[in-house]
Structure formats: structure tokens, C-alpha cells
């Protein structure tokens, strides 16, 4: 039979369960878009920028059972999308990128968009495929999907030259997709490693658990393990939703001087740490300020992460859910809940939150904002943050109850993530409340993507933490430099962005306005209109994360450099 490449690509995407594609049509993908338009299973979504389309795809992969997929033009479409592809690559999120390519059926150089895309994307994808003939398309997309979801998940790139898309070619059959395969079977070695881990666990008295996004599908197993061991549990930034906030053993993000007091206190003097689904990256370890005990059991799907930053006593490479199931089944100890530990966690959480609530301001107190927001949202609402000071305020002050209901850019840490990601979540969870917390700097990057939400009648709620600065960096500049350079924004009028994108606009200027405006935002969003809420936030009180990381890094400086930095800051403060 004869089929066009565009037909074959669409067929394959339908077979693996793709529901949405994101991108902007161009001459090298118009044929694929025409086929997508005819599809009864896939809806192609027009975005305002391919990078933000990649963040939508990322969010769909994180929160649903379908893979986020881009259909983009080569060259410029790819470079625009690279931030979102890079985020997925470092954060371990599966994604498919279907790109057009220049014609390969005639010998002409300097074609439009002609560039070696294998070199362009080589550092941010698990694999790059160039389609050579029609019969390769369906098997290649199936193989790309398997690669994307196996091992440490990530993006896979498929380039389909435009001539193959446009013209018919011979194919013997249209193979069906077989979904019955195990992407991550356990090796025989894993069982021996688990036996070793059990010996350490059963002979250790004070144990802590550190969980990341790699354990996102193992929340039940984590809860069971923590309760069996009466072990406190902290998480990474990305893995914040892995363990429920309201559980008596939950402490917060990380542990140490950069963490909330409940984490710092609960993890004091632990003799064994069980780390699950984490690479011990810079953010969740507080710029590597986390003090890991001599005994470390490290469980992760990616063998590359072992012994990079902290030496593992036992390293177990495998799917975290499967490994934890076996651990729980074979664990012989079951300890009584440590009531003293639980009391410390609860007391420290309450004290820290009250400190924030008692912070006096004529603007919006972050703790009061999050307290009111949490009270009025359902427990299964989705909270999406961007990159900035508001991220760590959310982490420290906003309870998260269910897996996959908190998203944030993590290792790639790209500004502009949250609004597009909220759109991706709302597309696949139309009945859920979807809340975006974004800084005013990040708003300027991807705020116009609200037009996509408005066009699709997606009632997301966007709360802008508006202070006129790139505050995470400006606060970091204050201590060593005593000045702010290139972190003061121009005057922003978010109501103009709301009007331009068909969004409803609200303002919260002080604490007295918080509840009324949040309730109004919820009601308007139910009607399918995005809501943009300008929150005049008070950032004057620093998060534990910000102040702790500054301490950790300054302590690491050589003595002479430390004196120079502190002396310079003091001189500037006196002579200001």
C-alpha cells in the first residue's frame, strides 16, 4: 500500500495514545498538521511560542498517562523549543519531538531552515532519529516512545524530511502498537542489593527518607516504608508531591540549614538515609549543603546518579515502586511511631508558619495568602510554580496533598515554565482546579501564552507575585554586593496582558483583599476563562532556602575571598 509520511506519523502517534500535539505550523510540517486536523484522537494545539508548547507537553507527561508531543518546524522551531526540551531532559520527563526537515530528494543546498539538527539537539535528547524512508516512520515512532519512557525518562527527537511527509511511499503494513511491555524490568543483581539494604535498615535505629520525582509513582510504598520505620520524610523540589504534607512524618524540602525547621530538627543525627528517585542535585540539597550520613541507601532508575555527590553504601538501580515493594515485603522490623519525633515535626511546622503570619506588612503576607488559597482549593487541585523566589515560598508555605499535583522546573530551572505548564495540565484535567504561581519576571517571558488558554476556554488561575524585581537573584545580590544589578524590572501593568489575552483581571493589594479575590478567581475560572490576579507581594522576609543557601556558599569560600566579599559589602553599606 502507499501512504504519505504525514499519514504514517499521525497513525503512529494515535497508536501510542498521544492526545495533543503542540507547535506552530510552517512549510516543513503543514502536511502533518493537515493529517492531525483529520484525526479523531489527536488535537493539534497552536501555541504562541514553541518553547512554551514544550512546557505544555512536559506538564502533560508529568500529570497524565499520555506523552507530551511537539510537532514543530526545523531550525527556528527547534531552537525556540529547546528550553522546554532541556527542562524535560534534565528533569527526567518523557517527551516526543516530531520535527520537519528539509527536502532530501534533490541535490540543492541552502534550503530554508537547513541545519544539522542532530548536532543542535544532541545534548538535550535521549536519541535523535532521521527518517530515511516511509516504512521506517511507524516503527521509529514506536521505538522513540519506548526510549522516552524507559530508564530515566526523557525527550526523543524524530526528524521527518518534508518530501517524505508530502509524497506517498510504499509500506507493507500498518503495524499495531503493543502496549504490553515492561519498560523497566528489575535485574537479578537488584535482589541481592535489596538484601544488603535490608540488613542496614534492620540494624539502624535512626533512619530518614529523602524522596524525589523518581518516586512519584511510589507514594503508597513510601508511606508504608516510613510508617514501618517511623522515619521522617523530606523531598526534593520537584518531588514535593511525592509524600503528603498532612502525614505526621512529612517534614518539607530537604534537610539542613536551608530547609524549614521541621526538616532540620527531624533529620538531626540520623545514622542511615534512604534516598529514593533523586540525583542529589543542587537545589534540593541546598547547594550541596545537605549532610548525608555515612550509611546511604540510594535507589534510582538511572545508574549515572550513584556516587556523584554522595557515596552510596548500597546503590540499587531499578524502578522505585518495584524496589520499595520488595523492600516492604521483606522488611522484618516494624517500629512504634516515635511520638517525640512527630511532636517536634508538628510543633516546628506550626511555629515556622506563625512566624511568617506575624510578619507585618502593608502589602500581601505570603503565609496568609497561601493559608487562604489552600483553604479554598480542593485537595486535588494542581499547583504549578515557576522559577523564582515565589517557588520557595510555595514550597515552604503551601501544603501539597496528592502525587503529581505540584509542578516546578527543577534541574534545568527555566523561567517561563508555569503558565504554559498550567495550560497543559488543564487540557488533560479539565475538571480540576489549576493554579499557577508566577513571578512578575517569569510572567514577562510566557504571559502572552494566556491567549492559548483563552482560545481553548481553559480556566486556569494565575497569581502574579508582583514586586518589580527578579527577587530571587536581587536578594542574592544584596548580601555580597549590597546593590542590585539588572534585577529591577520596568513598570509592569498586568491588566494590559489580561486584556490582550482575553483573561479576567483581579488585584490583591493587601491581606484584607485576599479571600474575596481568590473566591472570585475560582468562580470565574469555572466558566472557562483564564484569570490573571496581580498580587502585591511582600518579599522582604527571606525564605529559609534563600538565607540558608547564602550561608552554605559563603562558608565554602576561601578565607581571603570571604573577607573580601564581606568587607566590600560593608564598605558599600556605609558609603551608600
Q: Record the cell numbers describing residue 437, joined without a space.
A: 504561581
The whole-angstrom separation of Cα 576 and Cα 561 is 22
Parallel/antiparallel/unpaired status of strands 434-439 and 382-385:
parallel
Q: Which fold has domain 188-343?
A: Rossmann fold (3.40.50)
Digit-coded pLDDT (tens) for 348-406: 999 999 999 999 999 999 999 999 999 999 999 999 999 999 999 999 999 999 999 99
The total number of residues shown for the chain amounts to 576
Q: How many CB atoms lie within 10 A of CB 365?
A: 22
Label residue 80 by pLDDT band (50, 70, 90).
Answer: very high
In this model, does residue 476 exceed pLDDT 90?
A: no
Parallel/antiparallel/unpaired status of strands 168-170 and 2-4:
antiparallel
Q: How many CB atoms lie within 10 A of CB 535?
A: 27
In this model, does residue 511 exceed pLDDT 80?
A: yes
The whole-angstrom separation of Cα 369 and Cα 282 is 28
- The CATH class given to the 2-170 domain equals alpha beta
In this model, does residue 299 exceed pLDDT 90?
A: yes
Kindly list the strands in the beta sheet with 68-72, ordered across the sheet, starting from the edge strand earlier in the chain. Answer: 43-46, 20-23, 68-72, 95-101, 155-161, 127-130
- What does the DSSP 8-state code read for residue 281? -
Which residue reads 558599600 in cell numbers? 572
The whole-angstrom separation of Cα 261 and Cα 346 is 10
The whole-angstrom separation of Cα 181 and Cα 553 is 46
Average pLDDT taken over every residue of the chain:
95
| pTM check: above 0.85 | yes
Report, as an integer, the average pLDDT of 553-563: 82
Domain coordinates of the chain in residue numbers?
2-170, 188-343, 359-545
In this model, does residue 576 exceed pLDDT 70?
A: no
Question: ∠ CA 151-156-160 to the nearest 5 degrees?
Answer: 150
Report, as an integer, the average pLDDT of 122-133: 97
- What does the DSSP 8-state code read for residue 567? H
Report, as an integer, the average pLDDT of 278-292: 95
% the chain with pLDDT above 90: 86
Question: ∠ CA 354-270-349 to the nearest 5 degrees?
Answer: 10
In this model, does residue 565 exceed pLDDT 70?
A: yes
pLDDT of 107 reads 83
Q: Which of 295, 341, 367, 533 is nearest to 436 (CA)?
A: 533
Report, as an integer, the average pLDDT of 138-151: 98
Q: Record the cell numbers describing residue 241, joined without a space.
A: 508531591
Report, as an integer, the average pLDDT of 327-355: 96
Q: Which residues pair with 252 in a beta bridge?
A: 234
The whole-angstrom separation of Cα 213 and Cα 403 is 10
Q: Which of 177, 173, 174, 123 is nearest to 149 (CA)?
A: 177
What CATH number does the domain located at 359-545 have? Answer: 3.40.50.970
In this structure, of 73-77, 89-93, 105-109, 115-119, the range with the lowest mean pLDDT score is 105-109
Helix, strand or coil for residue 525?
Answer: helix
Which residue reads 522488611 in cell numbers? 331
Q: Give the CB-side neighbour count of residue 69, counting CA atoms within 13 A.
A: 26
The whole-angstrom separation of Cα 560 and Cα 499 is 54
Question: ∠ CA 332-330-254 to the nearest 5 degrees?
Answer: 85
188-343 shares the fold of 2-170: yes
Contact by Cβ (8 Å): 99, 74: yes
- 452-490: buried (b, 16+ CB within 10 Å) or exposed (e) per residue? bbbebebbbbbbbbbbbbbbbbbbbbbbbebebeebebe
Q: Record the cell numbers describing residue 319, joined without a space.
A: 524502578
Report, as an integer, the average pLDDT of 107-118: 84
- Residue 532's contacts (CB-CB under 8 Å, 6 or more residues apart) are 450, 462, 464, 494, 495, 497, 498, 501, 503, 504, 505, 506
- What does the DSSP 8-state code read for residue 331? -
Digit-coded pLDDT (tens) for 19-50: 999 999 999 999 999 999 999 999 999 999 99
The whole-angstrom separation of Cα 203 and Cα 235 is 24
In this model, does residue 291 exceed pLDDT 90?
A: yes
% the chain with pLDDT above 70: 100
The whole-angstrom separation of Cα 84 and Cα 422 is 14
Q: Which of 479, 537, 105 is nearest to 359 (CA)?
A: 537
Contact by Cβ (8 Å): 435, 421: no
pLDDT of 72 reads 98
What stretch of H or E contains 435? strand 434-439
The whole-angstrom separation of Cα 383 and Cα 395 is 10
Give the DSSP letter string of 554-573: HHHS-HHHHHHHHHHHHHHH
In this model, does residue 570 exceed pLDDT 90?
A: no
Four-point Cα dihedral 254, 259, 262, 265, nearest 10: 90
Give the DSSP letter string of 107-157: ---S-TT---HHHHHTTT-SEEEE--SGGGHHHHHHHHHHHHHSSS--EEE
Decide: residue 157, CB within 10 A, 0-12 exposed, 13-18 middle, 19+ buried: buried
Amino acid at each position: 500500500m502507499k501512504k504519505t509520511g504525514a499519514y504514517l506519523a499521525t497513525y503512529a502517534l494515535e497508536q501510542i495514545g498521544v492526545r495533543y500535539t503542540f507547535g506552530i505550523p510552517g512549510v516543513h510540517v503543514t502536511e502533518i498538521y493537515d493529517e492531525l486536523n483529520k484525526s479523531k484522537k489527536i488535537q493539534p494545539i497552536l501555541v504562541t511560542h514553541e518553547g512554551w508548547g514544550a512546557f505544555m507537553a512536559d506538564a502533560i507527561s508529568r500529570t497524565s498517562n499520555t506523552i507530551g508531543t511537539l510537532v514543530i518546524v526545523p531550525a527556528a522551531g527547534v531552537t525556540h523549543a529547546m528550553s522546554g526540551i532541556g527542562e524535560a531532559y534534565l528533569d527526567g520527563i518523557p517527551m516526543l519531538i516530531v520535527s520537519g526537515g528539509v527536502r532530501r530528494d534533490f541535490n540543492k543546498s541552502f534550503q530554508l531552515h537547513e541545519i544539522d539538527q542532530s548536532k543542535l539537539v544532541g545534548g538535550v535528547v535521549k536519541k535523535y532519529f532521521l527518517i530515511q524512508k516511509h516504512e521506517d516512520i511507524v516503527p521509529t515512532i514506536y521505538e522513540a516512545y519506548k526510549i522516552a519512557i524507559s530508564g530515566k525518562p526523557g525527550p526523543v527527537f524524530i526528524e521527518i524530511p518534508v518530501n517524505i511527509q508530502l509524497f506517498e511511499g510504499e509500506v507493507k503494513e500498518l503495524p499495531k502498537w503493543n502496549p504490553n511491555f515492561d519498560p523497566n524490568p528489575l535485574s537479578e543483581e537488584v535482589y541481592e542489593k535489596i538484601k544488603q539494604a535490608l540488613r542496614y535498615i534492620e540494624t539502624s535505629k535512626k533512619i530518614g527518607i529523602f524522596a524525589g520525582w523518581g518516586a512519584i509513582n511510589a507514594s503508597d510504598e513510601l508511606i508504608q516504608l516510613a510508617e514501618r520505620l517511623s522515619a521522617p520524610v523530606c523531598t526534593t523540589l520537584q518531588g514535593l508531591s511525592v509524600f503528603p504534607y498532612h502525614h505526621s512524618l512529612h517534614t518539607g524540602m530537604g534537610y539542613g540549614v536551608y530547609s524549614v525547621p521541621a526538616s532540620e530538627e527531624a533529620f538531626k543525627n540520623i545514622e542511615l538515609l534512604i534516598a529514593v528517585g533523586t540525583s542529589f542535585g543542587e537545589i534540593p540539597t541546598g547547594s550541596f549543603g545537605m549532610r548525608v550520613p555515612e550509611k546511604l541507601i540510594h535507589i534510582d532508575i538511572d545508574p549515572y546518579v550513584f556516587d556523584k555527590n554522595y557515596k552510596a553504601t548500597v546503590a540499587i538501580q531499578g524502578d522505585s515502586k518495584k524496589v520499595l515493594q520488595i523492600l516492604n515485603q521483606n522488611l522484618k522490623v516494624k517500629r512504634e511511631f516515635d511520638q517525640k519525633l512527630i511532636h517536634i515535626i508538628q510543633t516546628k511546622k506550626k511555629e515556622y508558619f506563625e512566624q511568617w503570619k506575624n510578619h507585618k506588612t502593608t502589602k500581601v503576607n505570603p503565609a496568609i495568602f497561601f493559608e487562604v488559597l489552600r483553604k479554598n482549593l480542593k485537595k486535588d487541585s494542581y499547583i504549578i510554580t515557576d522559577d523564582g523566589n515565589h517557588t520557595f515560598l510555595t514550597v515552604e508555605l503551601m501544603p501539597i496533598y496528592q502525587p503529581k499535583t505540584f509542578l516546578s522546573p527543577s534541574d534545568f530551572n527555566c523561567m517561563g515554565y508555569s503558565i504554559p505548564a498550567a495550560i497543559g495540565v488543564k487540557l488533560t484535567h479539565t475538571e480540576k482546579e489549576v493554579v499557577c504561581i508566577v513571578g512578575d519576571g517569569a510572567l514577562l517571558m510566557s504571559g502572552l501564552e494566556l491567549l492559548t488558554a483563552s482560545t481553548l476556554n481553559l480556566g486556569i488561575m494565575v497569581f502574579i507575585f508582583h514586586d518589580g524585581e527578579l527577587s530571587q537573584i536581587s536578594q542574592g545580590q544584596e548580601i555580597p554586593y549590597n546593590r542590585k544589578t539588572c534585577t529591577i524590572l520596568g513598570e509592569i501593568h498586568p491588566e494590559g496582558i489580561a486584556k490582550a489575552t482575553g483573561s479576567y483581571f483581579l488585584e490583591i493589594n493587601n491581606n484584607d483583599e485576599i479571600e474575596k479575590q481568590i473566591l472570585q478567581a475560582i468562580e470565574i475560572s469555572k466558566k472557562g476563562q483564564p484569570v490573571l490576579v496581580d498580587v502585591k507581594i511582600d518579599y522582604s522576609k527571606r525564605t529559609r532556602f534563600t538565607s540558608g543557601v547564602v550561608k552554605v556558599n559563603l562558608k565554602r569560600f576561601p578565607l581571603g575571598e570571604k573577607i573580601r566579599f564581606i568587607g566590600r559589602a560593608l564598605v558599600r553599606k556605609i558609603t551608600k
